Amino acid sequence: MKNIFLFPGQGAQFQGMMMDLYESSSMAKKTIDKFSEISGENIVALLRDTDISVLSRTDKSQLAITAASLAMVAALKEKGIEPEAVAGFSLGEFSALCVSGILCFEDTVKIVKVRGEIMQKVCDEIAEKALEGEKPGMAAVLGLTPDVVQKTLAPYGDVSREEAVFPTNLNSPRQTVVSGTAKGLVLAENLCKEVGAKRVVVLKVAGPFHSPLMEKAATAFVSELEKITFNNPKIKCFSNVTGKAVASGEEAKANAVEHIVKAVRWTEEESAIAEFAEGFAEEWQLLEVGPGKTLCGLWRDSGFGEKASCLPAGTLEQLETL
C-alpha cells in the first residue's frame, strides 16, 4: 500500500491532542521534546494544558499543530509507514515541507514559530485599529463551487475598498472560504446567497488569512526566510500556492511568502495528487496526519474518494488501526 500524507492547518487543534502518542511512542515523545528544545516553548504543556481559547491564537496553534503532526509522522515511521508524497493545508504545508526534505526539522520549528508570531502581531494590530464589530476575518461559503465564488467576488478584490473580500481557501466543489473586511464579509454573504449559496458561516479566526490584507505579515516574513535553507524536495510535495508539485527549494521559498497572502488552491492540489498517484502500480491511500478529520472530508467531497480512501491518523487509536 502506497501512502500520501496530508497535514491539517489551523482550526484542527484541541486541548490534549497527541498526549496519547507522547505517552506511548518513544519517537513521538522524542519529536515533541526536540520541538520544545528548539522553540524554547513547553510543547507538552501547550498541547496538554492550554485552554482552547489560548490555543486558538495563531502564535500558539501554529506551534501546537505542527508539533502534533510531526510527532505523528515519527510514530508512523516507527510502525514502518512512510509517504510517497505529501501535502499540507495552509499551516500544514510547513509539515509537508519538513517531511519532503525541503526544510530540515530545526528550521521547520524556527520558521513556524516566527511565522505564528508575525501573523499574530499583525492580527492584533488589525483588531486594535478596528471599531467594535468591524474586525476583518473569514467566512465559509457553502453550496457554491470555487469558480462561482471567485467570479461573484472578483469586483471586490481590492484592499483599498471598505468592502474588500477575497476567496482564500478553495476547499471543495461545495465549500470556499473567503477573507475580508467586516463590510466585505457582509457583502460576500449577500452576493453569494443571491447566486445560490446555502449558508455563509463566519469563522472564529484571528484574522483575514491568505489574503492581501495580510501583506504586512508577508513583508516581515521575507527577512526571516533569508536565514533558512530550502532544499530541493526528496519526495513529491504539493503547494497551496500553485496547486501543483514543488519543483525546487527556490520555488518553495518564494511560495512560503506568497502563502500568507494567496489563496489555498486545495481542489487543484487534490487533482494533482490523484494524477500523480495514478502512476502507482499498487493500491494507495491518503492519511490525514495530525489532529482532526477535515481533510478526509474534503477528499470525500472532491469526488476522488472512489480512487482511494483518506484515513485520519491523529490519535493512538487511529494509528493502531493502520
**Torsional sign, CA 22, 27, 29, 33:** negative
The answer, as to whether pTM is greater than 0.85, is: yes
Kindly tell me if the per-residue pLDDT of 11 is higher than 90. no
pLDDT in tens, 65-75: 999 999 999 99
Q: Give 233's pLDDT tier (boundaries 50, 70, 90).
A: very high
H or E segment at 170?
strand 165-172
Query: Cβ contacts of residue 22 below 8 Å, gap of 6+?
Result: 28, 29, 32, 44, 47, 71
The catalytic residues are 90, 210
Query: Cβ contacts of residue 114 below 8 Å, gap of 6+?
Result: 221, 224
Side chain identity, residue 116? G
- Tell me which residue of 138, 175, 171 sits closest to 265, measured CA to CA: 171
Q: Which residue has the cell 497535514?
A: 7
Q: What is the mean pLDDT of the chain?
A: 95
- As a whole-number percent, the residues of the chain with pLDDT over 70 amount to 99
DSSP 253: H
Q: Going edge to edge, which strands form the sheet with 175-180?
A: 165-172, 175-180, 137-142, 199-202
